[in-house]
Amino acid sequence: MHINVIASSSAGNACIVSHGQHTVLIEAGITIRDIGKAMSYHITDLDGALISHEHMDHAKSLRELARLGVDCYLSKGTAEALGITGHRIHPVEAKKQFSIGPWFVLPIDLVHDAAEPLGFLICIEDYRLLYACDTAYIPYTFPGQLTHIMLECNYSIEILREKIAAGVLPRVMKRRLMRSHMSIDTVLKFLRANDLSRVQEIWLLHLSDRNSNEAQFKAEVQKQTGKIVKVA
C-alpha cells in the first residue's frame, strides 16, 4: 500500500492511496487541477473517492470528480448538506461495509461540527488503513487489524492554554477546537488503546499552523509507538 498525501491543512485536504493498479482518493478539498497533477492527469483511473464531510477543505472538487465519471462515496448527511445528487454520488452509512472494486471500506462515525462526518477503514488484501480527520476523538478500537493509520493531530492543549493566558486566543475558539478536532493527547490515547503490532506507519494529519508543534508531535508518537511516523 502506498500513500501520497497531496494536501493536509485547513486550506485543503486530499490523499491518494494505491495498491498495484488500484487507487482511491480520500478527500477532495483542493482544486481538480491539483488532484489531476498529483495523478499525472489520470483522474479517471480512480476506483473511487471517499469524502468525510461537507466542509470545503474536504469537498471542494467533489462535483468536478463526479462530472469526470468518478464514483464518490459520502454519507447521506454530507450529500444533503452539499446539495449534491447524481448517479456518481453514493451515500454510505457508518458501520455498513461496502466495496469499491477490490477495496473494502467500513465507514465509521466521527465527532465534528458537520452534518454526518465519517472516517474510513480501508482494506485491500492484507492491508488495513484507518483514516480519521476532523474529529474530536475516535469512538472505536481496531484490535489486531491496522497496518496503516492516518489521524488528525490538530493541536496541543498546552499551546491553547498558553495562548489564552497571553490573550491571543479567545476561549470560544478553544472550546470549538476541543469539540471538533483531535489533540496530540487524544491521538496518543487512541494509539495506546489499540493493538499496533501490524502497523507499518502512522501519519499525522491536519496540524494547525498556530496551535501545533510538528517536531514535538512526531517525536511523542514515535517514542510511544516505536513506529515510522510521517507528518503531512
Task: Report the predicted TM-score, pTM, of the whole model to 2 decimal places.
Answer: 0.95
pLDDT of residue 118: 98
How far CA 166 is from CA of 108, 111, 159, 161, 170, in Å, comes to: 38, 29, 11, 9, 10
pLDDT at residue 170 is higher than 80? no
Question: Contact, 64 vs 32, CB < 8 A?
Answer: yes
pLDDT at residue 173 is higher than 90? no
* Number of folded domains that form the chain: 1
Give residue 47's domain range. Answer: 2-231
- Across the range 140-152, mean pLDDT stands at 94
Per residue in 42-99, pLDDT (tens digit) is: 999 999 999 999 999 999 999 999 999 999 999 999 999 999 999 999 999 999 999 9
Residue 11: pLDDT band (50, 70, 90) is very high
- Across the range 200-209, mean pLDDT stands at 96
pLDDT of residue 70: 98
Q: What is the CATH number of the domain that holds 52?
A: 3.60.15.10
Q: Where are the alpha helices (DSSP H) in the chain?
A: 32-38, 56-59, 62-67, 76-82, 157-165, 171-180, 184-192, 214-225
pLDDT of residue 183: 96
For residues 115 and 117, give the distance between their C-alpha atoms in angstroms, rounded to a whole number: 6
35 grid coordinates:
488532484
Average pLDDT of the chain is 95
DSSP state of 20: T
pLDDT of residue 179: 83
